[in-house]
Amino acid sequence: MTREALTLVSPMPLRAEPAPELAAEIEEQAIRLDQADPEAILGWASERFGSGLTMATAFGVEGCLILHFLSRVAPKTRVFNLDTGYQFAETLDVRNRIREKYGIDVELVQPSTTVAEYETEHGGPLHRHRPDQCCYDRKVVPLRRAVAGYTAWISGIRAEETDQRSRGRIIQWDAKFGLTKINPLLNWNRKRVWSAVISWNVPYNSLHDRGYESIGCEPCTVPGAGREGRWGGMAKKECGLHVQEHEQGSGI
């Protein structure tokens, strides 16, 4: 087994399938909420999962809009950002503006090593030649730690973004993390998202005004439409957080 294969072993046991009662409930709510507005979806999730509900955001425009909705229906929800150490300063600035506008203090979740320690350990930045490993170490592993003990998480994915995301549902089981996943903007298109953000003066990343549509870490993001600016020049379009790994649509 290669070193890479060894280090991609999950750090915690995962529940690949939900209990039958939960699976039935997810199916029922996915149908019931399919055309519901985001506040109704988030309101249901907050009531259903209570303090077991959390949200990860990279301060993309969708995440910022969800924080706007969340501030109205469940402002005490714990929200966190995967602070890889490679994010743009402009991204972290959105965190301050969200706090000022909505009073939501987004927690920064960091990997176990600093960027300097990580690059020393690997003889340089891994994002250049092994981005999957870098995303795994600096996003997926911290995310698993961050959601330990929680039962549901909110994400800002939209169906039109990638083929993987088009297979998502408003409420679904996320086998990758053993959680119920809530996707309140799944059926929204980009125009609708931006229209809402402008109408309600939702804080957003200033890089969007400079040609970046989808913003990840600084070394792996260039200006571009959709997710084309992510990992420019590579086939990679997902960091691994929203990739479906199980058949039957159990995860995304």
Reference 250, options 30, 103, 4; nearest CA is: 30
- Nearest to ligand SF4 by Cβ — which residue? 217
What the block records as the tokens of 237 is 């379009």
| Residue 216 binds ligand SF4 (CB under 6 A) | yes
C-beta closer to ligand SF4: residue 97 or 227: 227
Name the minimum Å distance from CB 14 to ligand SF4.
21
| Residue 219 binds ligand SF4 (CB under 6 A) | yes
**Cα–Cα distance measured from residue 6 to residue 125, given in angstroms and rounded to the nearest whole number:** 19
Residue 135 annotated among the catalytic residues of the structure: no
- Catalytic-labelled residue, pool 135, 217, 220, 239: 239
User: Measuring CA to CA, how many Å separate 54 from each of 70, 87, 201?
Assistant: 11, 21, 24
| Residue 175 binds ligand SF4 (CB under 6 A) | no
In 87-210, at which residue ranges do the beta strands (DSSP E only) sit?
107-109, 152-154, 171-174, 179-182
Selected from 65, 146, 197, 217, the binder of ligand SF4 by CB under 6 A is: 217
| Residue 239 binds ligand SF4 (CB under 6 A) | yes
**Cα–Cα distance measured from residue 204 to residue 149, given in angstroms and rounded to the nearest whole number:** 30
Three-state SS letters, 25-65: HHHHHHHHCCCCCHHHHHHHHHHHHHHHEEEECCCCHHHHH
C-beta closer to ligand SF4: residue 143 or 220: 220
Name the minimum Å distance from CB 48 to ligand SF4.
32
| Residue 84 binds ligand SF4 (CB under 6 A) | yes
The answer to whether the beta carbons of residues 30 and 169 sit under 8 Å apart is yes
What the block records as the tokens of 57 is 């955001």
Name the minimum Å distance from CB 246 to ligand SF4.
22
Q: Choose the binding region for ligand SF4 from 67-75, 168-176, 213-221, 242-250 (rule: CB under 6 A).
A: 213-221
Looking only at Cα atoms, what is the longest distance across the chain?
53
Q: Considering only residues 111 through 140, tell me which ones interact with ligand SF4, judged by CB under 6 A.
A: 127, 131, 134-135, 138-139
Reference 225, options 240, 239, 214; nearest CA is: 214
| Residue 220 binds ligand SF4 (CB under 6 A) | yes
C-beta closer to ligand SF4: residue 52 or 219: 219
Binding site for ligand SF4 (CB under 6 A): 84, 86, 127, 131, 134-135, 138-139, 216-217, 219-220, 239
Which active-site residues does the annotation give? Answer: 239
